[in-house]
């Protein structure tokens, strides 16, 4: 798409560039990026058409900021996606509504922990009190309610560290959050898109299988506990399929689940596949999988030391867990399995 600027806009832009070029190197660096973002992000001709999906608008924004800052788009996108997954669990996040992004920065972090002005939007005093808020659209105001300022602030925060992981560790200070964001970035980079919504059943409909809603029923082996999943009964060696695009977080033996696989998708959802007879090929932790990919085979392993099998009929235990930014909790896979089953008809 061509960038068409009116005569006054062109004059204003050229004047700003000439003024900046006359400044010192440090000042040039600080001001050229916001100006470039102004051209890339704010010019009306570059706004995504109304009929375009929010996915397209988001991806365009990420890539515009990559062009202006040098931070890879999939790293920016991964932070925004993680925030999208967790913002509703954060106190005060409901007060901030942006058109495109979901990044939530607390007022304390934005303005500075000792800043007497809780809703400060002055870059000088924000910086003076150790806040991170910045003016991203060049209007002279560091506005926490403006998504361009928020996105620019986050991108500049990332740029202030030597590595992406260092930035995440400093900002989130939670190993689980850092790991999940890195995995989301890995998925976005690998598939070169943020549209990774396809889902499928964990067993192929070409094979015989059955399942009922037995989520939450009592289990006694290893102590009284609740059944955190759905049992899908099928014959030995029935292929087990990845239900989503994801990263293999864990593989190996678990005394309860036997040979199992844990996979995380871009929505902070952890898919747990247990009682497997074995794994597919050379699948390993850290690998990327996609919906319908064979990852293992139905078995009856578990309830004992490694190699224990046959204590119950062959079936796949399938569980779903959500990480909300503070803790991980199980939820019932049954309605999702039924929906995926229906979608495959």
- Assigned CATH class of 209-343: mainly beta
Q: What is the pLDDT of residue 283?
A: 97
Q: What is the pLDDT of residue 345?
A: 67
Q: What is the pLDDT of residue 17?
A: 46
pLDDT band at 16 (very low <50, low <70, confident <90, very high): very low
Q: What is the pLDDT of residue 221?
A: 64
pLDDT of 45 above 50? no
pLDDT (tens digit per residue) in 87-110: 887 776 677 678 899 999 999 999
pTM of the model: 0.83
Where exactly are the structural domains of the chain? 48-191, 209-343
3-state SS string for the chain:
CCCCCCHHHHHHHHHHHHHHHCCCHHHHHHHHHHHHHHHHHHCHHHCCCCCCCHHHHHHHHHHHHHHHHCCCHHHHHHHHHHHHHHHHHCCCHHHCCCCCCCCCCCHHHHHCCCCCCCCCCCHHHHHHCCCCCCCCCCCCCCCCCCHHHHHHHHHHHHHCCCCHHHHHHHHHCCHHHHHHHHHHHHHHHHHCCCCCCCCCCCECCCCCEEECCCCCCEECCCCCEECCCEEEEECCCCEEECCCCEEEEEEEEECCCEEEEEEECCCCEEEEEEEEEEECCCCCCCCEECCCCEEEEEECECCCCCCCECCCCCEEEEEEEEECCCCEEEECCHHHHHHHHHHCC
pLDDT (tens digit per residue) in 290-305: 999 999 999 999 999 9
pLDDT (tens digit per residue) in 133-185: 999 999 999 999 999 999 999 999 999 999 999 999 999 999 999 999 999 99
pLDDT (tens digit per residue) in 245-276: 999 999 999 999 999 999 999 999 999 999 99
């Amino acid at each position: 798409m061509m960038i068409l600027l009116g005569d006054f806009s062109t004059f204003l832009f050229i004047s700003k560039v000439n003024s900046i070029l006359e400044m010192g190197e440090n000042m040039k660096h600080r001001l050229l990026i916001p100006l470039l973002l102004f051209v890339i992000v704010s010019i009306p001709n570059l706004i995504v058409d109304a009929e375009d999906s929010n996915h397209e608008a988001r991806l365009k924004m990420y890539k515009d900021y990559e062009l202006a800052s040098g931070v890879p788009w999939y790293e920016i996108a991964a932070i925004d996606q993680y925030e999208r997954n967790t913002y509703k669990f954060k106190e005060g996040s409901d007060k901030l509504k942006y058109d495109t992004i979901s990044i939530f920065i607390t007022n304390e972090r934005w303005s500075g922990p000792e800043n007497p002005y809780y809703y400060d939007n002055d870059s000088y005093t924000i910086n003076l009190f150790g806040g991170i808020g910045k003016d991203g659209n060049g209007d002279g105001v560091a506005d926490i309610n403006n998504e361009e300022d928020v996105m620019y602030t986050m991108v500049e925060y990332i740029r202030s560290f030597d590595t992406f992981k260092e930035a995440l560790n400093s900002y989130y200070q939670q190993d689980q959050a850092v790991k999940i964001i890195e995995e989301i970035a890995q998925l976005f980079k690998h598939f070169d898109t943020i549209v990774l919504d396809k889902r499928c059943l964990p067993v192929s409909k070409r094979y015989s299988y059955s399942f009922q809603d037995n989520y939450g029923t009592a289990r006694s082996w290893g102590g009284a506990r609740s059944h955190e999943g759905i049992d899908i009964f099928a014959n030995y060696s029935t292929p087990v399929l990845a239900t989503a695009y994801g990263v293999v977080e864990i593989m190996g033996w678990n005394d309860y689940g036997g040979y199992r696989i844990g996979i995380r998708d871009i929505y902070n959802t952890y898919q747990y596949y247990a009682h497997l007879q074995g794994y597919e090929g050379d699948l390993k932790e850290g690998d990327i999988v996609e919906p319908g990919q064979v990852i293992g085979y139905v078995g009856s392993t578990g309830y004992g030391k490694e190699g224990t099998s046959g204590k119950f009929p062959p079936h796949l235990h399938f569980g779903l867990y959500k990480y909300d930014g503070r803790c991980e909790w199980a939820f019932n896979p049954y309605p999702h399995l039924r929906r995926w089953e229906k979608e495959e008809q």
